[in-house]
Amino acid sequence: MPLVERLCIIGVGLIGGSLSLALKQAGAVGSVIGVGRSAANLDDALRLGVIDEASHDAASAVESADMVVLAVPVGTTQAVCEQIRDHLNADAVLTDVGSVKGDVVAQVEAAFGEAPANFVPGHPIAGTEKSGAAAAFPTLYEGRRVLLTPLAHTAETALDRVRRMWETAGAEVETMEVAHHDAVLAATSHLPHMLAFGLVDRLARMEDSGEIFRYAAGGFRDFTRIASSDPVMWRDICMHNREALLAAMAQFEEELAELRRAIDAGDGERLFEIFTRAREARDGFTG
Amino acid sequence: MPLVERLCIIGVGLIGGSLSLALKQAGAVGSVIGVGRSAANLDDALRLGVIDEASHDAASAVESADMVVLAVPVGTTQAVCEQIRDHLNADAVLTDVGSVKGDVVAQVEAAFGEAPANFVPGHPIAGTEKSGAAAAFPTLYEGRRVLLTPLAHTAETALDRVRRMWETAGAEVETMEVAHHDAVLAATSHLPHMLAFGLVDRLARMEDSGEIFRYAAGGFRDFTRIASSDPVMWRDICMHNREALLAAMAQFEEELAELRRAIDAGDGERLFEIFTRAREARDGFTG
């Protein structure tokens, strides 16, 4: 018997589609039904073997599934949960792939009354600039981290099934508290995106922006790469991880003010100390 | 007759050494004398053919030169100029490679009374993480930009010689005003370095920094690469491009505050607008 007998992926994009392909390749899934709104995308998914069956109706699609993966934009979580609420199998495990967890849990709670014991909030830290089922590939999760944030009443068996599913897809799975997840991601991903978007936007708004970008050297290209990310996804992350992101931004603004004061005062010793600590930290974590 | 008969490089590191090697490879220089404090570095430079002759004494070394390149830390410009002031040939051209230009010009003026007509401030936008004569290589400037910032009374002949020297080394040469150079570099290079240093430093100072860096994903690595830059060089840039950098930081802080307000207010439309403009600008300039 495969790890997952019937997988239902709601939202067959890069993330959901790649999970399906990875499980198929590992022989760990019996069959896969994909749910989506776009017929063209579902056709791609069927044609490329990402899914075995396609549906526009989440409610009926989950009825046969023992594993349901929500891979929809975070903001639509509650609406989708309300559709499937009365159709889930008693034993089915429900998980998601959202980049923020506190808000997803709140939406699940709003839809279900309380979060089901078989619901396991999850976040695979993986992705490319591409999207859609046609961009999916089975090795997306190899060596990548998946963070699971079980709640106090989450069933051990459900957590274990989701963990094994991601491990089968090649990922390293870790668990942490919901709030901690959101704070860590705000600091290491959401804040850096704000800095990159903000910097490029500020330069773009300057009168001589064409010239300014012309003189931007190599380091600038690396530094601003993440400003090419999907504006819709990042708008949603900002809306749905608001508290943690605002806290991270406030902390960074303090740091920047400290740097500014040191530059203003010509305090070379302080600047050297900050730059050295940063360089050592970075060289340390990148090995 | 080669473009440069006798080149004097004061400070034989990656930048000065690579210029020498490029001119030698092009057959564009008669001989090269290198000036430095470190005997070990000068020995490397001689052994590797970066220079033909070595000296610890800038004053006597410039006497025979028709082209003098200052490739020393920006903060030592005035002291070096005071040493060579009374020993330069009347026809010798003096140029520099500093990352900031207003402060260099001020130091040259302080040393000479007024900047010599044969002084051409310059800034090759090139470099690697390595330093020292042993790191020099002849193709460092191929396709890279060199910005020259001649003063009102800079001699056309001097400007022309420096331009041809850099073009011979493979660079694209452009001229701009001193203050404009410092503002453009503050926005596209110095400010991004402050953001990268500041972000990594802030994370490093958090209690759970080890864990935080562990979850930092791919984009974070690119984004913070420039935080691995030399703390001494960046301390000096902060000290010597103080005004322009402070102005760029103040502008960025406004942008960040604007983003924070939009996130706080849940203004998705505004966020989408900012992120879209940034993505389009970045995709535009990186081609």
- pLDDT tens readout for residues B210-252: 888 887 766 788 888 889 888 998 999 999 999 999 999 999 9
CATH number at residue B241: 1.10.3660.10
Q: pLDDT tens-digit profile of B169-196?
A: 999 999 999 999 999 999 999 999 999 9
pLDDT of residue B168: 98
Do B22 and B143 lie in one domain? The reply is yes
Question: In terms of domains, do A269 and A158 share one?
Answer: no
Task: Examine the domain organization and report whether B29 and B135 are in the same domain.
Answer: yes
Rg, chain B, Cα only: 21
Q: What angle do CA A236, A241, A243 make, to 5 degrees?
A: 135
The answer to whether the Cα torsion of B129, B135, B140, B145 is positive or negative is positive
Q: What share of chain A is helix, strand, coil (3-state, %, to 5)?
A: 55, 15, 30
Interchain contact A143–B (C-beta under 8 A): no
Boundary residue ending a domain (B127, B144, B176): B176
Q: Name residues whose C-beta falls within 8 Å of residue B267's C-beta, 6 or more positions apart in sequence.
A: B261
- Do B161 and B255 share a domain, yes or no? no
Residue A72: other Cβ atoms inside 10 A: 24
Q: b/e for B210-234, b at 16 or more Cβ within 10 A?
A: eebbebbeebbebbbbbbbbebbbb
Residue of chain B nearest A240, judged by CA positions: B266
Residue B243's SS3 state is helix
Looking at residue B11, its pLDDT comes to 97
CATH number at residue B11: 3.40.50.720
* Res A265: pLDDT: 98
Give me the residue from A203, A225, A275 closest to B197, CB to CB: A275
DSSP A85: T
| Residue given tokens 């903000």 in the structure block | A198
Residue type, A10: I
Query: Any chain B CB within 8 A of the CB of A186?
Result: no
For an interface test with B, the pick among A76, A144, A275, A277 (most B C-beta atoms closer than 10 Å) comes out as: A275
Give yes or no for A265 touching B (CB within 8 A). no
d(CA B245, CA B249): 6
Give pLDDT, residue B218: 67
As for how many domains chain B has, the answer is: 2
Are A216 and B188 inside 8 Å of each other by CB?
Answer: yes
Contacts of B251 (CB under 8 A, 6+ apart): A202, B187
Region for residue A155 given its phi and psi (left: phi exceeds 0; alpha: psi -120 to 50; beta: otherwise): beta
Q: Which residues of chain A make contact with B236, given a CB cutoff of 8 A? A: 268
B239 → closest Cβ in A208, A231, A266: A266
Residue B266: count of CB within 10 angstroms of its CB: 12
Residues B118-139: what's their mean pLDDT?
Answer: 90
A119 φψ region: left (φ > 0), alpha (ψ -120 to 50), beta (else)? beta
pLDDT score of A218? 66
What are B100-122's pLDDT values in tens digits?
Answer: 999 999 999 999 999 999 999 99
Closest C-alpha among B56, B55, B59, B14 to residue B31: B55
Tokens 């923020």 found at: A100
How many CA within 13 A on the CB side of residue B21?
23
Q: In terms of domains, do B192 and B270 share one?
A: yes
Quickly list DSSP for B194-238: HHHHHHHHHHHTSTTHHHHHHH--HHHHHHHGGGGS-HHHHHHHH
Instruction: Indicate if B53 and B22 belong to the same structural domain.
Output: yes
* CB environment A16-55: b (16+ within 10 A), e (fewer): bbbbbbbbbebebbbbbbbbbeeeebbebbbeeebbbbbb
- Judge contact between B166 and B124, C-beta under 8 A: yes
What pLDDT is attached to residue A127?
76
Whether the CB of B287 is below 8 Å from some CB of chain A: the reply is no
A117 and A185 in a single domain? The answer is no
B interface test, pick of A211, A279, A286 with most B CB neighbours within 10 Å:
A279
Considering only the beta carbons, identify the residue of A219, A245, A246 that sits closest to B226: A219
ipTM field: 0.87
Local structure of residue B171 (DSSP, 8 states): P
Strand (E) or helix (H) holding B175: strand B172-175
B188 touches chain A (CB under 8 A): yes
- Where does a domain end: B176, B200, B219? B176
Nearest CA in chain A to B268: A235
Binary contact (B231, A279; C-beta < 8 A): yes
Strand duo A145-148 + A122-124: pairing: antiparallel
The residues, ordered by sequence, that sit 6+ positions from B131 with a Cβ below 8 Å of its Cβ are B13, B14, B230
Closest residue by Cα to residue A165 from A72, A67, A35: A67
CB contact under 8 A, B259 and A197: yes
Strand ranges for B22-153 from DSSP E:
29-35, 53-55, 67-70, 93-96, 119-120, 122-124, 145-148
- Asked whether residue A25 falls in the same domain as residue A159, the answer is yes
CA distance B42 to B45: 5
In terms of domains, do A18 and A143 share one? yes
How many beta-carbon pairs under 8 angstroms link A with B? 273
How far apart CA A129 and CA A60 sit, in angstroms, is 32
Shortest CA distance to A28 belongs to which of A156, A170, A142, A172?
A: A170
Helix and strand numbers, DSSP H then E, in chain B: 13, 9
Of A147, A217, A239, the CB nearest to B189: A217
Q: Is there a contact between A274 and B206 if contact means CB atoms under 8 Å apart?
A: no
Do A143 and A234 sit in the same domain of this protein? no
A135 and A99: one domain? yes
Segments forming the whole domain that contains residue A270 = 181-285
Query: In a structure prediction context, what are the per-residue pLDDT tens digits for chain A, which is 287 residues long?
Result: 899 999 999 999 999 999 999 999 999 999 999 999 999 999 999 999 999 999 999 999 999 999 999 999 999 999 999 999 999 999 999 999 999 999 999 999 999 999 999 999 999 998 776 789 999 999 999 999 999 999 999 999 999 999 999 999 999 999 999 999 999 999 999 999 999 999 999 999 887 788 888 877 667 888 888 898 889 989 999 999 999 999 999 999 999 999 999 999 999 999 999 999 999 998 887 65
By the CB < 8 Å criterion, does A46 face chain B? no
Q: Which residues of B touch A265 (CB under 8 A)?
A: none
Last residue of a domain, one of B156, B176, B196: B176
In degrees and rounded to multiples of 5, residue A37 shows phi and psi of -90, -35
Q: Is B282 helix (H, G, I), strand (E, B) or coil?
A: helix
Q: Which residue has the higher pLDDT, B13 or A218?
A: B13
Find tokens 């600039």 and name the residue. Answer: A129
Q: What is the nearest CA distance from A55 to chain B, expressed in angstroms? A: 30
Q: Which residue is closest to B217 within chain A, CA to CA? A: A125
CB A133 within 8 A of CB A45: yes
Predicted pLDDT at A208: 79
Residues of A in contact with B274 (CB under 8 A): 197-198, 201
Measured between CA atoms, the residue of chain A closest to residue B209 is A281
Put simply, the chain B residues between 194 and 233 with a CB less than 8 A from any chain A CB are 194-206, 208-209, 211-217, 219-229, 231-232
With b for 16 or more beta-carbon neighbours within 10 A and e for fewer, the A242-278 pattern comes to bebbeebbebbbebbeebbebbeeebbebbbebbbbb
Is residue A81 located within the same domain as residue A167? yes
B277/A201 touch (CB, cutoff 8 Å), yes or no = yes
